[in-house]
C-alpha cells in the first residue's frame, strides 16, 4: 500500500525532521536571530509576490538546466553551506554530496563541516563542489585551509561576509548549543576543530568559538588578500546592498550571493528577495548573482529568477531531508523542488530558464 504519510512538500519534511531531531539540533537549524523577524520575512516576502503568467506558449517540452560559473546544472537550485551535518546523520556532508550528485547540481561545503573536504569532493563523483570560508584571525591557518580545499578539487571559494560577529540566536543560548560528543570540525587545525562546551552562564558554544577564532575586523582589503591567495573563482555571500555589490565586483569577485544568513545575523534586515533587485541593477550583468533565504516552493525559484537571480540556494530544506531519510531524503527534497519549479515554469508560460523574465512579476500599483 502507498505510504500516505510520506512528506510531499518541504514543510512536511520539516515537520518529520522536527519529530526526529533532538531539540537542541532542530532549534539550531530552524531558529533565527532575536525575534526571528527577518527569518519570517524571508519567507513571507515571497508569499506577497504575485505572478503574471503567460498563456498559449507551447510548454509541452521544458528545459530546467542552466550554468553557474560555467558549470552546467540540471536546475537552478543549489545547496548552500550548512554547518555540522554530522549532527543530523552519521554520514553528514558525504550523504548530502551523494544526493547533490544524483540530481546534478552544486553543493557548497561549509568550513564548519564534520567531514573532510577530500571525502566530500570524492562523494560528489565528479560534480562540482564549492567551499565556503570564514577568515580566521590566524591568516596562516586560513591560507592552509584554502590550499587544502583547492588541492581537494573544489571549483570555487564562497566567502561569508555577513558575520563579523555572531548574531544572537536565543534558542542556541537557552540550549547551551555545542557539538554532540565525537563530532569535530574536520577541515581545521587541531586547536580549532572543537567547539567549546557551553557552560550554563556562557550561552552558545558556537558563539564562543566564533568570538575566539573568527576575524571580526575584515575589510575590503581582505577580499584583495583572498583574491590573491586563491587560484579558484571567489564568490562573496552575504551581500544585501547595491553599493556593496559594486565594490565586490571592483574587487574581482566572480559571483555574488544575496543572503542574510537565513535570518540568523541582523534581525529586521531586509528579506533577500526584496534586496535582490537592487543588487541586480547595481552589478548590471558584470557577475552572476545568486540568492538564498526563505525558498520553499518552486514558485519561489521562478520569482527569484524573474528578478534576475542566476540560481537559488536552499539550506534548511536540505537538513530536513537529511534528517528524515539521509541521502535519499535530500534527493527527495530536491526532486520535489525540481518538480514544483517545472510545473511553475509550465503554468507561467516558460519553456526554458531563459524565458523567465521580470514581466512575470506583477507590479504593485496605486495601493490596490
Q: What are the catalytic residues?
A: 261
CA atoms within 13 A on the CB side of 288: 17
Relative to beta strand 234-239, strand 129-133 is unpaired
What's the grid cell of residue 44? 513571507
Return the closest-CA partner of residue 289 out of 275, 300, 299. 275
d(CA 201, CA 215): 24
Distance of CA 267 to the CA centre of its chain: 18
Q: Which residues pair with 63 in a beta bridge?
A: 352
- 95 CB-contact burial (10 Å; exposed 0-12 / middle 13-18 / buried 19+): buried
Return the closest-CA partner of residue 260 out of 9, 26, 37, 19. 37
CA atoms within 13 A on the CB side of 197: 5
Query: Which residues contact residue 113 at a Cβ distance below 8 angstroms, ignoring those fewer than 6 apart?
Result: 83, 84, 85, 92, 93, 120, 185, 186, 187
First-to-last alpha carbon distance for the chain, in angstroms, is 49
d(CA 44, CA 98): 31
Angle between helices 316-348 and 10-20 (to 10 degrees): 170
d(CA 267, CA 168): 9
Asked whether the beta carbons of 264 and 284 are under 8 A apart, the reply is no
Amino acid at each position: 500500500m502507498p505510504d500516505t504519510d510520506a512528506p510531499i512538500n518541504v514543510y512536511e519534511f520539516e515537520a518529520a525532521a522536527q519529530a526526529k531531531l533532538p531539540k537542541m539540533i532542530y532549534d539550531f537549524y530552524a531558529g533565527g536571530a532575536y525575534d526571528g523577524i527577518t527569518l519570517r520575512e524571508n519567507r513571507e516576502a515571497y508569499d506577497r509576490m504575485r505572478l503574471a503568467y503567460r498563456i498559449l506558449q507551447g510548454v509541452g517540452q521544458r528545459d530546467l538546466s542552466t550554468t553557474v560559473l560555467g558549470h552546467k546544472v540540471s536546475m537552478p537550485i543549489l545547496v548552500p553551506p550548512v554547518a555540522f551535518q554530522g549532527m543530523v546523520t552519521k554520514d553528514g556532508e558525504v550523504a548530502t554530496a551523494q544526493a547533490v550528485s544524483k540530481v546534478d547540481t552544486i553543493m557548497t561545503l561549509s568550513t564548519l563541516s564534520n567531514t573532510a573536504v577530500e571525502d566530500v569532493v570524492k562523494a560528489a563523483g565528479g560534480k562540482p563542489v564549492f567551499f565556503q570560508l570564514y577568515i580566521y584571525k590566524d591568516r596562516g591557518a586560513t591560507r592552509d585551509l584554502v590550499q587544502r580545499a583547492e588541492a581537494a578539487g573544489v571549483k570555487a571559494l564562497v566567502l561569508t561576509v555577513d558575520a563579523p560577529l555572531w548574531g544572537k540566536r536565543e534558542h542556541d543560548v537557552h540550549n547551551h548549543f555545542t557539538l554532540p560528543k565525537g563530532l569535530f570540525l574536520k577541515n581545521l587545525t587541531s586547536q580549532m576543530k572543537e567547539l567549546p562546551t557551553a557552560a550554563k552562564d556562557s550561552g552558545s558554544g558556537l558563539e564562543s568559538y566564533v568570538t575566539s577564532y573568527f576575524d571580526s575586523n575584515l575589510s575590503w582589503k581582505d577580499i584583495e588578500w583572498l583574491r590573491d591567495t586563491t587560484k579558484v573563482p571567489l564568490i562573496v555571500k552575504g551581500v544585501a546592498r547595491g553599493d556593496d555589490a559594486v565594490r565586490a565586483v571592483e574587487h574581482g569577485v566572480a559571483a555574488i550571493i544575496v543572503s542574510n544568513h537565513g535570518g540568523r545575523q541582523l534581525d529586521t534586515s531586509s528579506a533577500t528577495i526584496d534586496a535582490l533587485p537592487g543588487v541586480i541593477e547595481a552589478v548590471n550583468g558584470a557577475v552572476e548573482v545568486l540568492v538564498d533565504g526563505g525558498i520553499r516552493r518552486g514558485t519561489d525559484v521562478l520569482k527569484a529568477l524573474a528578478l534576475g537571480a542566476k540560481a537559488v540556494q536552499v539550506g534548511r530544506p536540505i537538513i530536513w531531508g537529511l534528517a528524515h531519510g539521509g541521502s535519499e531524503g535530500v534527493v527527495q527534497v530536491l526532486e520535489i523542488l525540481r518538480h514544483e519549479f517545472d510545473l511553475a515554469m509550465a503554468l507561467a508560460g516558460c519553456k526554458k530558464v531563459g524565458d523567465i523574465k521580470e514581466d512575470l512579476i506583477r507590479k504593485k500599483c496605486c495601493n490596490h
